[in-house]
Amino acid sequence: MLDIRFIRENPDRVREGARKKRIECDVDAILDVDGRKRALMQEAEELKAIRNRVSKEVPQLQGDEKKAKIQEMQKVSAQIKAFDGKLREIDEQLEALMLRVPSPPAPEVPDGEDDTQNTELRTWGEVPSFDFELKDHIELGELHDIIDVPRGAQIAGSRNYILKGLGTQLDQAVLRLAFDHMIGKGFVPLTVPLLVRDQAMVGTGYYPGGEEQAYRCERDGLSLIGTSEVPLTSYHAGEILDVADLPRKYVALSPCFRREAGTHGKDTRGLYRVHQFYKVEQVIIGRADEELSKQYHSEILTNSEELLQMLGIPYRVVNVCGGDLGQGQIQKFDLESWMPSRESYSETHSASRFHDFQARRLNLRYKDEDGKVQHCHTLNNTVIASPRALIPILELNQRADGSISIPEVLRPYMGGREQIGG
């Protein structure tokens, strides 16, 4: 959520930001409701001043004059009560509009409509060539009896799967490597709730607007998380932190759930787009300093790049264009890993900075060196998400005989095993 004062002072910047993100935003309607709210507040304050003045005069009066003043004060109190009701109503209108306002993206965000217009910044590793016919990860999984999509779909419907035997061990090895990597970086590990209240979803910017992607437990008013960013960023909601304790760096390994609404017929084969997966997520909560936020953004991106390099997965970094940014993101870098079966780099990580967009919704603040209370800046990035990460791991490490070499960095997590099959 943006500061209403920022919108008042920079309406054209907010309009241009919404245009760049391709998000509808009626700035004029917001300013109109805000203006009416301020006018009502001024009238209410004037009436309260009259009531206070009259209440001081009443004890000094006698008889009919006192009675008249009391009646006058009662009328004023009734008017104030009516104004309070109008203010509550207009507050609700303004909040509903404000929750839809996107953050203006950073100047270095490229213009563009969708992910096809993201800008490549750099690549790492060489895309390998093979002198034999490649199998995709599903063929490899069936060959070695480590992936079972038909039974997963039978139990839970489309876009579900079962990992089995060494497939499960490989999945857990990747997640544990990522988790240990982040702990080694000084991030504090948290075990977080998977079902959260609406205020956490609203606070992190997933509601309103993202309800169709979430699994809702209507009876309990809870939602399954699509990323542990939600509980991690909400961890200090409503608190005032000390600047000396910033930044706060957290990491969580959790199941994640997404309905994948609107993707009918897209990426239906394999493990790329599924309803349930596991993710290691990193979150930083820092002070309201743009340069520091940029440094943290680079840091969380580097953390994930290091992991892909450890796994030997070629990747590229892209600067995400305005039309592919979410409502609250100031800037986002995607890491796209090379997946032979897709014959392309495909997104596996998203590193985002939000400035105070999430913190304002969560009322997440800190007291600076001068004792002034400020809203924090928040950032997050995927460390690894699996089973999507298994696609390049399995496909890039296959051999002509169908066996799969296990990346050296994962072998300690698999009892020293060097390969699957063969």
Q: How far apart are CA 99 and CA 102, in angstroms?
A: 8
Cβ atoms within 10 Å, residue 222: 18
Closest to 227 in 3D by CA, of 378, 382, 102, 355: 382
Question: Chain centroid to CA 378: how far?
Answer: 10
Answer positive or negative: Cα dihedral of 169, 257, 266, 205. negative
Q: Which amino acid is at 225?
A: I
**CA angle, corner 251, sides to 290 and 336, nearest 5?**
75
Selected catalytic residue, list 347, 405, 411, 417: 347
Q: Is 336 a catalytic residue?
A: no
Closest to 145 in 3D by CA, of 160, 166, 161, 169: 166
Q: Which amino acid is at 375?
A: H
Selected catalytic residue, list 22, 176, 259, 273: 273
Q: How far apart are CA 407 and CA 385, in angstroms?
A: 17
Q: How far apart are CA 30 and CA 37, in angstroms?
A: 10
**CA distances (Å), origin 366, targets 231, 363, 370:** 19, 10, 11
Angle between helices 63-98 and 27-57 (to 10 degrees): 160
Q: Which amino acid is at 134?
A: L
Closest to 404 in 3D by CA, of 60, 229, 170: 170
Selected catalytic residue, list 258, 316, 360, 365: 258
Selected catalytic residue, list 350, 353, 365, 386: 350
Q: Is 352 a catalytic residue?
A: no
Selected catalytic residue, list 360, 361, 365, 388: 388
Q: How far apart are CA 83 and CA 41, in angstroms?
A: 8
Q: Is 417 a catalytic residue?
A: no
Which residues have CB under 8 Å from 362's CB, separation 6+? 203, 204, 233, 234, 236, 237, 238
Q: How far apart are CA 304 and CA 253, in angstroms?
A: 14
Which value, in Å, is the radius of gyration of the alpha carbons in the chain?
A: 27
Q: Is 258 a catalytic residue?
A: yes
Angle between helices 27-57 and 11-21 (to 10 degrees): 140
Q: Is 15 a catalytic residue?
A: no
Q: How far apart are CA 29 and CA 18, in angstroms?
A: 14
Write out the catalytic residue numbers. Answer: 258, 273, 347, 350, 388
